[in-house]
Amino acid sequence: MIVIGIITGLILITMLVAMFSIGFQPFLMLLLLIPFFYLIGLYRVKRPGKGTIRRTARFLENKLFQVLLKDAVVIDTDIWMDNKYSSFFRAYSIVLAANNKKLSVFDRQHEEIIKHLQNPREENRHTRAPHEMQHPLQLFLNKNQIFIECMPSADDAADVNELLLIKALIAAAARSNNVVFIANNRQLIARARTVLKDKKIGFTIIDYLEELLPACAGYCTAVEKGIVKPRCWKRR
């Protein structure tokens, strides 16, 4: 703020000196105003107004969270375990609280996450949530926003040896017309597409979550400061 003010002041002083020294020339004034407007635009990008913050928040809610509240959701374990997605989980928790809903996680995936937390692999330790930080799963548990659901046995013999997350997607389809899968593993996504398409299960993949992380972080800050009130959707 101070630096912006100093620079802006210097530009205005330069403009005044130029006007009084060589007379009023519209073309010269336009040239002098260009850096001034540039600085103003730069400031607006770094410090967006409340209107911009609200629009970004509503965009995020409509693009991401409305879908997550409407359908069954399965989140890849790697997403759960990667600390860079913490802003997404915080924002998700805010939306769940505003809509009085819970996230369902199957017991076997819950056990897998706990196992990873207790025995992180050395080569992946940098991607794991640090022990001094609250893990997203614990965040939801502390706020009573998670429901640990028993995963049913596979009906189809071909599903018995499937990957755990594929089994979770199939099981989630039993309670929803559409299943949302949040993942960034291309091979896993491709396998999920094939299996769910064969079973004629409605399927939405969210593989662009990383692109929305800055908006998620801004959303959390805006809610905490009272700039944005989380949207509530009517129950269907």
8 Å CB contact between 215 and 65: no
For residue 3, pLDDT over 90 is answered with no
Better pLDDT: 106 or 162: 106
The pLDDT of residue 13 is 59
For residue 117, pLDDT over 90 is answered with no
pLDDT band at 5; cut points 50, 70, 90: low
Q: What one-character-per-residue DSSP string does 130-197 give? A: PTTSPPHHHHHHHTT-EEEEPPPPPSSGGGTTS-HHHHHHHHHGGG-SEEEEE---HHHHHHHHHHHH
Q: Which residue has the tokens 């769940």?
A: 96
The dihedral of CA 165, 89, 106, 180: what is its sign? negative
Q: Considering the entire predicted model, what is its pTM?
A: 0.75
Which letter, b or e, does each residue of 80-92 get, where b requires 16 or more Cβ atoms within 10 Å of its Cβ?
A: bbbeebbbbbbbb
For residue 142, pLDDT over 50 is answered with yes
- Mean pLDDT score, 96-120: 90
Q: Which long-range contacts (CB under 8 A, 24 or more apart) does 127-133 make?
A: 127/81, 127/82, 127/83, 127/84, 128/81, 128/82, 128/83, 129/81, 129/82, 129/83, 129/86, 130/83, 133/83, 133/86
For residue 29, the Cα-to-chain-centroid distance in whole angstroms is: 44
The pLDDT of residue 68 is 94
pLDDT band at 236; cut points 50, 70, 90: very low
Beta-carbon contacts of residue 43 (< 8 Å; ≥ 6 apart) = 4
- pLDDT tens sequence across 220-233: 999 999 999 999 87
